[in-house]
Amino acid sequence: MSAIGLVEKTTAYFKDFKTWVALDSTNLSDGQQLAVKYFTVAVILFVAQILFGLLAATQFIWPGFLFEILDFNVNRMVHINAMIVWMLYGFIGCVYWLLEDESQTEIVGLKLGNIAFWVLTAAVTVVVLVYLLVQIGPGKDSSLWFINEGREYIEAPRWADIGIVVVMLIFFYNVVATFTKGKWSGIAGVLTLDLVALAGLYVAGMFYMTNITHEQYWWWWVIHLWVEATWEVLVGVIMAWSLMKLLGVRRKIVQTWLYIEVALMFGSGILGLGHHYFWIGTPEYWLTIGGFFSALEPIPLVAMVVHAVYDSGSHAFKNGNHPALAWVIAHAFGNFFGAGVWGFMHTLPQINMYTHGTQWSASHGHLAFFGAYATINIAFFYLAIQHWRGGVWMGEGTANAWRWKWAIGLLNVGVLGMTIAMLIAGYEQSFIERAVEGSTWGGYFTAQNHPSFQSAMVWRLLFGVVTAAGLGLLIWDLLTIGKGETRKAKVITQQ
């Protein structure tokens, strides 16, 4: 391709991207247009997550790479925080998208919702710039407020913490006021209760305590109950609504499993929090309680998908959005294996004694976050794009269908490959560093320099590149799928 042709093609994609952001209001409601703003930032942050993850993985192999320019601790921090924030953006966008349809009325406080979006986006931008540019200096009370709180996953400075809670409260107001004005449903009730926890539980990580046990105790309330509990319920709400739209599943089926999800989350989820308490000085009874209950959380979501597919199959199984359905199924398997199986196999205290803090934990984290959260966001992106394109057919026979198929293949193979590579590295660490060397500094460095560990880190980087290739294809497909398609997907009604 000539340089002029490349420029023209790039310009065309840029124009299509601008159109995707600025949207035709005749196709989308006001709430859906706000949702697309969240989706757009979510995809940008998804790219940032993968980019900084690749940089960190490279530095694991070549520690001198970008030393004192963009150090490993900064790359890892941006990688983790970008992951959390892009998924949160995706969830908020999903709720704004479904809100008017579920409530049967227009969104209340839309102008306030738009202001909250721009405030949140500006705050995220400032925080990332601070992460990248201001990471050297003494840790003081002022640095907790303006630079970095220094706690993994919630490093955001205190002013940003407060901003997140304020945005969540505005989001809560938009949702509750809209349902109050319109129509309440089982999904609406669960969503409302979950948003109370979403705003409230984050506060647990906003105060500093000098006792490390107390500090870690409340830190885990944010990491486990905010991310692993309230997010799981939010995913259940999104999944329930998506299955009704994708497959025409009966409302009573998805709502029943949603209620079970809430019951298990408040039962097993809070008790399962104990599997994080093993090594911070809390009573020993948390060892057994936390290890047993921690794996039950994903079960209702898997059951919801299986029951929904069975129900739609008994009613002719008609679906006009194959990529969305494929990602929903990927979510069911990814959530079960990543959050459930991979989590349970190393949370029992007899095992966690050797695996805690090794690459085994990172293996579980990668598969769980991707399988439980990223997949459902991507599924919803395809659901939203189908509506934006005018409800066109997005099933077999769609032009360039290879893009979404290769994208889902590369992304899942890439993440699974990284998961297995880190599992191998974690097994080696558990054996040499913990079992043989007895958790000494010497054991740590012996494990880090072992050929099995180093080769696993190389494989992690290689599969990270595969994941990045899948993301590139995914974005290309999201920008182009359904464009020029004239066939309409059959409107699915609930049975």
Give the mean pLDDT of 440-458.
92
Q: Rounded to an integer, what distance in angstroms lies between the CA atom of residue 336 and that of residue 226?
A: 19
For 62-100, the pLDDT digits (tens) are: 999 998 889 998 999 999 999 999 999 999 999 999 999
* Mean pLDDT to the nearest integer, 262-280: 76
Tell me the pLDDT band of 197, cut-offs 50, 70 and 90: confident
pLDDT at site 1: 46
Range name among 114-118, 173-177, 230-234 with the lowest pLDDT average: 230-234
Looking at the predicted structure, is the pLDDT value of residue 402 above 70? yes
Q: Is the pLDDT of residue 7 over 70?
A: no
pTM for the whole thing? 0.90
- What pLDDT score was predicted for residue 316? 57
How sure is the predictor about 427, in pLDDT bands with cuts at 50, 70 and 90?
A: very high
Task: Lowest mean pLDDT of 112-116, 133-137, 146-150, 243-247, name the range.
Answer: 133-137
Q: What is the model's pLDDT at position 146?
A: 86
Say what the alpha-carbon torsion angle 358, 67, 84, 308 is, to the nearest 10 degrees. -60
Q: Is residue 24 predicted with pLDDT exceeding 50?
A: no
Query: Is a pLDDT exceeding 80 seen at residue 472?
Result: yes
- Could you give the percent of the chain with pLDDT greater than 70? 91
Lowest-pLDDT range, 184-188, 250-254, 314-318, 361-365?
314-318
- Average the pLDDT over each of 181-190, 303-312, 459-468 and give the range with the smallest value: 303-312
pLDDT reading at 440 higher than 70: yes
Query: For the ranges 26-40, 41-55, 312-326, 331-345, which has the lowest average pLDDT?
Result: 312-326
More confidently predicted of 369 and 308: 369
- 366-401 per-position pLDDT tens digit: 999 999 899 999 999 999 999 898 888 887 777 788
Would you say residue 14 has pLDDT above 60? no
Mean pLDDT of 40-58: 96
Mean pLDDT rounded to a whole number for the chain: 85
pLDDT given for residue 315 in this prediction: 54
Confidence band (pLDDT; 50, 70, 90) for 40? very high
pLDDT exceeds cutoff 60 at 494: no
> According to the model, what pLDDT value does residue 390 have?
86
